[in-house]
Amino acid sequence: MTKVYISSTFKDLKDYRDAVIQALRKAGYSVEAMEDYVATGRYPPLTKCLADVEACEYYVGIFAWRYGYIPTEGNPEKKAITELEYRKAQELDKPCFVFLLDSEAPWSPKFIDSAMGDGDQGKRIKEFREELGTDKLASFFKTPDELATLVTTALSRWQRESVSEEKVQAIIQAFNLDDVDKLFLNSSSVALINIALEAAQKRHNAGRLNDEQTKEFNVLRKQVQDLLTLNKKLQLAAQKARQLLKQTIESIQADLEELHSIAILNDM
């Protein structure tokens, strides 16, 4: 099951997080979120959060107008935990999906750092949002339902577009073409050796081979038998390759049909 990491500030975006988590789980994703930690009344250690980011396949970042909690330990640059999670996902080259609250969406002033005068928090979230909007193809949302639809659609589209490449890589790893090439090269010499073998067989039958030539004849006959065995292996390898390709194509088609169905449901 594909695991998704949800990163955002909590109090201001709780309803939005709930909508996204519910939609993703309904679509069959496993979700890693801070809700489990908040229930304990404390933030998880920074190392735990970053380890969770690393353990997930996808990163989803949701940002409004709060910079968020700044861990005191192991954080010399004094960055918010949400920014550190994003940086970690980028460092690990995770697929990152960024969603920003629309600037025209109504929002309580108590959840706007610049309005509350919380030090330089307002400036930092503004700069961070500008960076996210520039570096990533961010989507903008106004309501929880709109955000949930945007997230599930983005993830299903990404999977739909990447599944073919993943299947091709699986074929390459599962089937060693170099070994097959070697079999082809060996089997191509069978015809030439057979011609020589037939000529030697005639001389042998006529009693025109001395002991040394008879020994060479027996070696040659053994080589032909070995190459015929290799030829059979080649035929089996080719048959397995065709079966693998057929199964892979069927698997790709099934995956695409499933992802297409998910996309249709999400768009409804």
CB contact at 8 A, 29 and 57: no
Quick one: 255 and 189 in the same domain? yes
pLDDT at 32: 93
pLDDT digits (tens, 9 = 90+) for 225-266: 777 777 777 778 777 877 877 777 777 767 666 655 655 554
Domain count for the chain? 2
Is residue 178 over pLDDT 90? no
Give the residue from 113, 131, 162 where a domain finishes.
Answer: 162
Domain's final residue, options 138, 162, 186: 162
Q: Both 69 and 153 in a single domain?
A: yes
For the chain, the C-alpha Rg in angstroms (whole number) is 32
> Would residue 23 count as lying in a domain?
yes
Confidence at residue 203, expressed as pLDDT on a 0 to 100 scale? 67
Residue 100: closest CA among 151, 34, 57, 53: 151
pLDDT tens digits, residue range 71-117?
988 899 999 999 999 999 999 999 999 999 999 999 999 999 987 76
Q: Give whole-number Cα distances, 113 to 72, 77, 124, 127, 157, in Å.
A: 19, 19, 9, 13, 34
- The whole domain housing 192 covers 175-261
Same domain, 180 and 140: no
Q: Is residue 194 part of a domain?
A: yes
Here the tokens at position 79 are 């960055």
pLDDT tops 90 at residue 187: no
43 within a domain of the structure (yes/no)? yes
Tell me: do 113 and 207 sit in the same domain: no
In a domain, 35, yes or no: yes
Is residue 167 in a domain? no
Domain annotation covers residue 169: no
Query: What whole-number percentage of the chain has pLDDT above 90?
Result: 45
171 vs 45, higher pLDDT: 45
- The pLDDT of residue 118 is 63
Q: Could you tell me the pLDDT band of residue 1, with boundaries at 50, 70 and 90?
A: confident
| Whether residue 90 is found in the same domain as residue 218 | no
- Report if residue 136 sits inside a domain: yes
Whether the full predicted model's pTM is greater than 0.85, yes or no, is no
Residue-wise pLDDT tens digits, 143-172: 999 999 999 999 998 988 776 556 556 655
